[in-house]
Structure 1
Amino acid sequence: MSAAISFRGIISIIGDIVEIDVRAARRMGLVPRNRELALLEQEGQVFSLAQVVRLSRDSVSLQVFAGTKGLSSRASVRFTGEMMRAIHSDNIYGRVFSGAGVPIDAGPKLDNDPRIPIAGPTVNPMARVLASKMIRTDIPMIDVFNCLVESQKIPIFSVAGEPYNALLARIGIQADADVVVFAGLGLIHDDFHTFRQAFEDAGVLSRTVMFANLASDPVVERTLVPDLALAVAERLAVEEGKRVLVLMSDMTAFADALKEIGISMEHIPSNRGYMGDLYSQLARRYEKACDYRGAGSVTILTVTTMPGNDVTHPVPDNTGYITEGQFYLHDGMLDPFGSLSRLKQHVIGKETREDHSQIMNTMIRYYAQGVEAEQKQAMAFELSAFDHRLLRFATAFRERFMHLDVRQPLEEALDACWALLAECFERDEVVIKQSLKDTWWPHAETGAQQKLAQSS
């Protein structure tokens, strides 16, 4: 396709969608393709970049990146013959790109660096390796109770106001990964600045690649950011053997952008105004997570906000069918009851200590009983001596493990679990395999344990 031929033919402008009559273009031998880029020109100057979002026999719909305010129906269109591509080279580390794949960090130009296509097909399952390696984050509620596994795709379910971006930044800083690719979707400027500053202050910016679409940026770019980030992640994993962790916040903003575009194109909406292909759109991105045979891996961790804390909302509801569990962020803490990692059994006891599985189940069991004891206390029921021990356990469990500012390597966290059990319960009270208690139960009584024994 020739990129030098421009023509007029705007039929309508609805929102940021421009419909073009392409019969004249076809007579000139131009055949636009889906997702192809085009330039809108007005008064001899480029008005905006646009992308083909719908094809029909005689017309094409373009999503205009810069919006259509000030665009005349007499403007001309020039198809470039190119799809959106992402920059890929050794020069991208520490750089920040917009949703159009353009550097926005005032760094050196990358015009001569190679570019790679985005939004390609997912990997053939026969070329995938079964997930079997753990990504350590030094966050006990993840490492101990719901391990993050290489090639896993998993969201953080949360609501507006929760510190999910702070948690995501901590994981990006502390995670045992070669490269972190961050994709910001509809971020306010303060959140974007917080991510960048956090990576820079922690000294990990040199292994980080950032793509950012701010709330004030074009909506269409919000739909491209995941594809740009995942294309770079795939190339780093396949060609360079890197263990890549992709962080995306927030996938609900991505889905809302798809809904906005669909409504502008007068598509018939499905559940709550979202388009009927929401599941496919989300799955196409999440299924990029992969452990490549003979190469690296791509692990995807996202944020999915739930409007009204409604897990049946179309975005978290569809996400739950695609991903392999979820982390549930509630009241500023990772909730052990709402969180689940369906791949943790591939690493617990295999890549971790022999006591990991037993101590994980025991801690959650006693915490659940402690929550029940708190409910009994709130309803003024009489509490037994064991109930009081459960209350102490539940309070200490939140302080030592559930708060987001807690940072412990896995082995230290497992030791801390044993220590907490020893503080709150007698050795014979704890139901756990005897051989493990013989090996890992603290031998010396702690001061807290002595006080507990005196009070009972």
Structure 2
Amino acid sequence: MLQKTYDKIDSIGRSILSIKAKGVHNKELAEVIYPNGDKAFAQVIAINNEQVTLQLFSGGFGVSTNCKIRFLGKPIQVGFSDDMLGRVYSGNGKPIDGGPELLTDMVRIAGPSINPVKRLIPKEMIRTGVPMIDVFNTLVRSQKIPIFAKAGEPYNRLLANIATQTDADVIIIGGVGLKYDEFHYFRQRIEEAGSKNKTIMFVHTHRDSIVEGLMVPDLALAVGEKFALQGKNVFVLLSDMTQWSDYLRQVANAQDQIPANQGYPGDLYSQLASRYEKAADIDGAGSLTILGVTTMDDITHPVPDNTGYITEGQFYMKDGYLELFGSLSRLKQQVNETTREDHRSIMNVMARLLSEAEERVKAQKFGSVKDDYSFRLLDYRKTFQKELMDPFRYLELEDALDLCWDILARYFKKEEVGLSSKLIDSFWPKEGQYKILKPHNNE
């Protein structure tokens, strides 16, 4: 195919350049050829008649108007192979672990999502070993769901734990704007857990080009989709999609786009949706599940606000815990009737009692908590937080459900919990194993 080369750049700014060209396509890959013969890559991001805007992968430093632009007639692609398992790649798809580069079976990134006709209704649980997820907000294969958290919360530690504890066939970690210690923690945790042979990492650090950061989710999802089409159950973990959105905002501002809410581009929703909608359970093949971190100070911030419309719930991390009432899995009802017969009932009862306990916390501030049942509710709340809300405590689902029954028996009588006699006969701990605790002094 004839490659078109142009030698007149109209304008350069930050990581954006503009040139007049004919016959090029959106998302097409181009080479920037420096006067000394060095080369860099760019991608077409906007076309207005003959005016073409390109995004430079390495930034605009050193680019001058006498550089040449050669359009390659193809979109950005990444090599694909089972040999990728256990490997670490940068945000431009190049290996950074000392291994060879893959140049065969090239896969287009940021391509169209799976045809809806080929999508199955989600119905299989993903076990994570995290009680607040497995019991109360069960993750379902092919779900798209974020972790909402403030900056500084240990969300990357949670992602690393989930990556090593899940029963997926392939784990793909996409890191955007990671600090070096976060990057090395992911690698160390995966190697210690023996999960390296099923894990692929695409890593962009805070010192790399923002364009490479923007490519990370697309690389991770393109490779994940390819594995899913081979029949594998793939779990893609992305951190941090707020940082990714901030990079998107920087590029939009460099293009002098008219800003929307808080300076973000007007197509922020579409940009996020095109990534999250890659999640799918594919008829006759495997599945792709997406868990992405969305850092925030406020739920009304444009990134979590848009994310909430696109995804199927969220896990809310606060003060190092996974909160029950801030979290929601909209697909949990698809699976928690088939996990164990008591799952849905125990989940509902534990949540109801915790809600009652929260009301007692408010009443306690006014000195109006004096009865035995209320004090037991307050103690129940402390135990619930300590033993179930800790995101770093590993428990199999069955053990976590048994723990729920044990906690109920510590603080309540059988007739107080509102469960069926059939379930109580089957699961309530043996008489005498726990006793109703005496009310505490209101100290």
Secondary structure of residue in 2 paired with 1:411: helix
Of stretches 45-54 and 390-399 in structure 1, the one that deviates more from structure 2 is: 45-54
The equivalent position to 1:372 in structure 2, one of 348, 356, 359, is 359
What is the aligned counterpart of 1:429 among 402, 407, 416?
Answer: 416
* Distance apart, 1:451 and its partner CA: 5.3
Contact 1:155–1:301 (CA under 8 A) maintained in structure 2: yes
Letter in 1 for 2:20: D
CA contact (8 A) 1:39 1:46 kept: no
Measured in 1, the distance between the counterparts of 2:117 and 2:15 equals 41
Instruction: Select 1:304's aligned residue among 294, 305, 310.
Output: 294
**For residues 8 and 37 of structure 2, what CA distance do their matches in structure 1 show?**
17
The answer on 1:440 being equivalent to 2:427 is yes
Name 2:211's counterpart in structure 1: 220
What amino acid does structure 1 have at the position aligned with 2:18?
E
Measured against aligned partners, the alpha-carbon deviations of 1:335-387 in whole angstroms (never above 9, x if no partner) come to 0000000000010122x111101100111111122222223223322421011
User: What are the Cα deviations for residues 403-442 of structure 1, in whole angstroms up to 9, with x where unaligned?
Assistant: 1221110001111111110111112222111111111111
> 1:11 corresponds to which residue?
10
2:141 to 130, 135, 150: 150
Question: In 1, Cα distance between the equivalents of 2:110 and 2:25?
Answer: 14
2:386 maps to amino acid? E
Corresponding residue for residue 244 of structure 1 = 234
CA contact (8 A) 2:161 2:392 kept: no
2:54, 2:81 → 1: CA distance? 30
C-alpha contact (below 8 Å) 2:169/2:234 kept by paired residues: yes
CA distance in 1, matches of 2:97, 2:370: 60
Distance (Å, rounded) in 2 between the aligned partners of 1:75 and 1:450: 79
Q: Tell me, what secondary structure is at the counterpart of 2:435?
A: helix
* Partner residue of 2:130 out of 129, 139, 144: 139
Q: 1:194-231: CA deviations, max 9, x gaps?
A: 11111111110110011111111111122211111111
The residue number in structure 2 matching 1:398 is 385
Deviation string for 1:241-266 (max 9, x for gaps)?
10100100011111111111111111
- Equivalent residue number for residue 51 of structure 1: 43
Distance 2:329 2:388 in 1: 17
Are the counterparts in 2 of residues 39 and 48 from structure 1 also a CA contact under 8 Å? yes
Q: CA 1:55/1:451 → structure 2, altered by over 3 Å: closer, same or farther?
A: closer
Equivalent residue pairs, number = 441
In 1: Cα distance, 2:440 partner to 2:195 partner: 49
User: Could you tell me which amino acid in structure 1 is paired with residue 327 of structure 2?
Assistant: S
Deviation at 1:453, TM superposition (A): 9.4
User: Which of 357, 373, 382 is the aligned partner of 1:386?
Assistant: 373
SS in 2 for 1:398: helix
* TM-score computed with the length of structure 2 as normaliser: 0.96
Q: Does the Cα contact within 8 Å between 1:52 and 1:61 map onto a contact in 2?
A: yes
Aligned letter for 2:355? A
Q: What's the secondary structure of 1:449's corresponding residue?
A: coil
Whether the 8 Å CA contact 2:92–2:215 is kept in 1: the answer is yes
Q: What's the CA shift string for 1:86-119, capped at 9, x where partnerless?
A: 22111100111111111111123333x3211111
1:415 aligns with 2:385: no
* Cα deviation digits, residues 36-86 of structure 1 (max 9, x gap): 111111123224211111112222111111111122211111112221112
Instruction: Determine if contact 1:376/1:383 at 8 Å carries over to the other structure.
Output: no
Query: Secondary structure at 2:388's aligned position in 1?
Result: helix
Q: Summarize the alignment of residues 196-275 of structure 1 with structure 2, pairs less than 5 Å apart.
A: 196-239=187-230, 241-275=231-265
Question: Secondary structure in 1 aligned to 2:326?
Answer: coil
> 1:255-312, CA deviations, whole angstroms, 9 ceiling, x for partnerless residues?
1111111111111111111111111111111111000011100001000011xx2111
Q: Secondary structure at the match of 1:443?
A: coil
Cα separation, partners in 2 of 1:451 and 1:393, compared to 1, 3 Å: closer
2:109 pairs with 1:118:
yes
Once residues 437 and 7 of structure 2 are traced to their aligned partners in structure 1, the CA distance between those partners, rounded to angstroms, is 85
Using the alignment, how far apart are the partners of 1:61 and 1:124 within structure 2? 30
2:309 alignment partner, one of 321, 343, 360: 321
1:336 to 324, 339, 358: 324
Matched, 1:2 2:6: no
Partner Cα distance (2:181, 2:52) in 1: 37
Q: Which letter does structure 2 place at the counterpart of 1:163? A: P
Unaligned runs of 5+ in 1: none
1:450 is displaced (CA, Å) by 6.1
Q: Secondary structure at the match of 1:81?
A: strand
Where 1:94 maps in the other structure, the secondary structure is: coil
The answer to whether the Cα contact below 8 Å between 2:35 and 2:66 also exists between their aligned partners in 1 is no
**Aligned partner of residue 91 in structure 1, secondary structure:** helix
Name the counterpart of 2:76: 84
CA distance in 2, matches of 1:407, 1:69: 48
Deviations 1:307-341 (A, max 9, x none): xx211111111111111100000111000000000
Change in Cα spacing, 1:378 to 1:116, as seen in structure 2 (3 Å) is: same
In the alignment, structure 1 residue 104 sits paired with structure 2 residue 99: no
Whole-Å separation in 1 of the counterparts to 2:152 and 2:210: 23
> Using the alignment, how far apart are the partners of 1:345 and 1:336 within structure 2?
16
CA distance in 2, matches of 1:143, 1:248: 20
**Which range moved further: 43-52 or 86-95?**
43-52
Q: Is the 8 A contact 1:16 1:64 kept in 2?
A: yes
User: Could you say which residue in structure 2 is the equivalent of 1:345?
Assistant: 333
Runs of 5+ unmatched residues, structure 2: none
Checking the alignment, whether the CA contact within 8 Å between 2:131 and 2:391 is kept in structure 1 is: no
Q: CA deviation at 1:400?
A: 0.7
Distance 1:192 1:303 in 2: 15
Instruction: Check whether the contact 1:93–1:206 (CA below 8 A) recurs between aligned residues.
Output: yes
Cα distance in 2 between the residues matched to 1:88 and 1:359? 44
- The one-letter code sitting in structure 1 at the alignment partner of 2:187 is R
1:348-359 matches, cutoff 5 A: 348-350=336-338, 352-359=339-346
User: 1:449 and 2:435 equivalent?
Assistant: yes
Tell me: CA distance 1:433–1:266, structure 2 relative to 1, closer, same or farther (3 Å): same
Percent identical across equivalent pairs? 48
Q: In the alignment, which residue of structure 2 is the partner of 1:177?
A: 168
Alpha carbons 1:40, 1:50 under 8 Å: kept: yes
In 2, Cα distance between equivalents of 1:152 and 1:138: 17
TM norm structure 1: 0.94
